[in-house]
Chains A and B, each alone.
Chain A
Amino acid sequence: MSSPLQVLIVDDSLSMRVIAKTFVTALGHEVVGEAADGKEAIKQYFQLKPDLVMLDLVMPRFDGKKTLKKLRELDPEANIVICSSLGSEGDIEFCLNAGAKFYLQKPFELAGVENALAQITRPLESQT
């Protein structure tokens, strides 16, 4: 049994943050923060140091692809799961090559989120 993950949810849609939070909590993990755009996500990432970021792609101002690249540049160990309505081969390949750990296409289901979160193992030294 893996230990609960601390999750930062990044999505400009309040509704999707509500749905993602419900799923993450139901799977026994903790949502430590929510952000509605990429800039806010990067700020919160370094404040909260979450185990995992669930990141939307279509967002105003600083979109998800830019955020993914920036986060991985600033922290190459960042665990990022893409949660997007987009899902062309090009989008998926771009994100996985840029270091995303998993790609979930909206509308996602609980089993998909469980599968995505299972890819991330919280390091033993940071477990409390």
Chain B
Amino acid sequence: MTQTSVPAYTAFKTARPDQWVKSVTGDWEIIVGMEVHAQVSAKSKLFSGASAAYGGDPNSHVAMVDAGMPGMLPVINKFVVEQAVKTGLGLGAKINLWSRFDRKNYFYPDLPQGYQISQYLYPIIGEGSLEVASEDGSMIMVGIERIHLEQDAGKSIHDLDPNSTYVDLNRSGCALMEIVSKPDIRSADEAANYFKNLRALVRYLETCDGNMDEGSMRADVNVSVRRPGGELGTRCEIKNVNSTKFVGMAVNYEARRQIEILEDGGTIDQETRLFDVKTGQTRTMRSKEDAHDYRYFPDPDLLPLILDEAWVENIRANLPELPAAMKARFQSQYGLSAYDADVLVADKDFAVFYEEVAKGRDAKIANSWMTVELFGWLNKNGKELSQSPISAAALGGLVGLITDGTINGKIAKDVFSKMIESGDEAAVIVDREGLKQTTDTGAIEASIDALMATNPEKVAEAREKPKMLGWWVGQVMKATGGKANPAIVNEILKGKLGIE
């Protein structure tokens, strides 16, 4: 056993040429591996009964063991173990029926025990994989090296007082899963998509809430560059990157920084770096020389973690539907394109919302109203789906009115706006404002006849240029206050104008 934590990097695939970074001295390839810390969704902490809820007054969620009090002992939280196993199963990973907790020793005021309990040599989850979209639309498999359970540290607050640091131990002892990828990522987009898909997966599994603002998921991104297929470069680790977008930006910046140094004849120092969200740059946090000797050894307060195979199989049998399976189902059940299905399953909230909107209605109309109209409005107003003023049921109501021909698409857009303004249901608005679509062919014919009588030159023109039909449809819709059924208008116009 060694005390270094450098994984054995083997079998490096070469990036596709379109992923290479072109430069004056030739092409470069980016190699990325990620360690994602995901806070396990659980009521209590990894080794104590204290609340693991986010927030709370400082030091209000702290058990004696979380504060490192003398004689206090850790006791494993079985639910957290179940959550880790669930995550492993979701990644198709090997579940290690025997795993062990080690102590990682270092001093810091927000680390009350003077060590972090982690799994160093024998993690609970072994190898697995996650499918991720590459920038050319193809899918790649990113290997998962391992997942281990460990304690979070507390929080040091340096800016409350010029001379003192305050410590909040509410996070101390909360359970984290460290999900370690293999260095299989070859571009910023792949890195961002890996993080995005991983977040989607844990949210489906409900093993982590994926809430970036609360620090529930953060990535340490390891970046190195090399000549395509050439010798591996020295890697730098960018700590605590907390959004999909920043992951991509950090990889791009860091790769370019390294390439620049190498092309100037310099060498890369192995170091830990920070990503500055304001500048989009990375900067040195600590160099390898400052690296701690963590003196890992098995925690003598805890027994090895031994799982029952039947218990694991029971968790496997009760796994929820996961994004990949759901995507395939959306394509077959709703007839959606791969792209549309991908957008919808990217977040569990989207998928659940969509299925309610589409229930018993036209699935494609449901998709476009959700992803184009609703998402468009939400984006413009900087809101999340969870903050949508229109519920899935309400949007479903609108889609239903379109599907059964009660209103047409044009009217629907007005109704949509009014739904947002008033909070009323679509049917209520349509009734109140008399927006029901006219399918009365007699009325539509009369309106067409009147228009033809007043626009004889356009009639002649349309017979010459069938493209004029659009103008005619517009005139009819205008004349009927937009309520005419466009399909019927089309049909009658074609007949009357003699267009095939």
Genuine A/B complex: no
Residues of chain B touching chain A, judged by Cβ–Cβ distance below 8 Å, are none
Residues of chain A touching chain B, judged by Cβ–Cβ distance below 8 Å, are none
